[in-house]
Amino acid sequence: MTTTDPFAGGTRRVAVVTGGSRGIGRAVSRRLADDGLAVVVNYVGDDAAAAETVGAITASGGQAVAVRADVADETAVAALFDRAETEYGGVDVVVNCAARLALSPIAELDLDVLDRLHRTNIRGAFVVAQQAARRLRAGGALVGFSTSVVGTQFPGYGAYVASKGAVEAITLILARELRGRDVTVNAVAPGPTATELFLDGKTEEQVEALAKAPPLERLGSPEDIADVVAFLAGPRGRWVNGQVLRANGGLV
């Protein structure tokens, strides 16, 4: 049987990165561009951040375009993938970084906040996974995002962890549903990572304590996580499928 190697020369591979304009998403967008992929940088509201991310990629010789879409809106997400196909000819990598974070004891959480968080983190993850399952080309990869707090079970993270547990639950199922397509499905579960989303609302003492928790005694950087995503999306990660990779410096 003869097959075509999707990683061998020729057509540029294409990535869609949701939440790709800031934080880990920006680092992922830039890393994939450095690896030679054309990147569709999805964002929901910050035009300036999206333009800055695209500008950084193109200034370094890469290809990128910014596309606004709410990941929980199936019509908008379908249009996002349409744009990727129109602009660059197809989709090879999908990285779903878009997420909300709300910290509160379960007994005190405003249920409207819960609904908004789960709309983005669960419905959004499902909508993006649907489009990825329908459109990824052979040799493709879907990388979702969970959190290492699914394991550490820190108080105050109940709503967020519930939403990320859903991401972990569908990862292996979708990998199995895509049998025969030569498409991998994995999730990355970062530990404490120095992003605006993580640092917001925390005291210096809290941040210092979290930085000391892993054996490596530091916070992760967005680039640390982007390196893991690049591995899963590239040729060296093809035998990893249906897995949740905890990128957290040894935090348990």
* 107-143 pLDDT tens trace: 999 999 999 999 999 999 999 999 999 999 999 999 9
Taking the C-alpha atoms of residue 240 and residue 252, their distance in angstroms, rounded to an integer, is 22
* Token pair listed for 67: 């596309």
pLDDT at 93 over 90: yes
What torsion do the CA atoms of 193, 54, 127, 194 make, to the nearest 10 degrees?
10
| Per-residue buried b or exposed e for 78-94, using 16+ beta carbons within 10 Å of the residue's own CB | bebbebbeeebebbbbb
* Token pair listed for 54: 């695209």
pLDDT at 116: 98
Domain boundaries, the chain: 14-247
Element (H, E) at 139: strand 136-145
**Catalytic residue positions, numbered:** 160
Identify the three-state secondary structure at position 211. Answer: helix
For 169-183, give the DSSP string.
HHHHHHHHHTTTS--
* Entry pTM: 0.94
Q: How confident is the model at residue 200 (pLDDT cuts 50, 70, 90)?
A: confident
* Token pair listed for 58: 């193109």
31-82 confidence digits (pLDDT tens): 999 999 999 999 999 999 999 999 999 999 999 999 999 999 999 999 999 9
- With a CB cutoff of 8 Å and minimum separation 6, the contacts of 158 are 104, 105, 106, 109
pLDDT at 3 over 50: no
Taking the C-alpha atoms of residue 214 and residue 125, their distance in angstroms, rounded to an integer, is 28
Place of tokens 């003492």: 205
Is CATH 3.40.50.300 what the domain over 14-247 is classified as, yes or no? no
pLDDT at 8: 62
182-195 confidence digits (pLDDT tens): 999 999 999 999 99
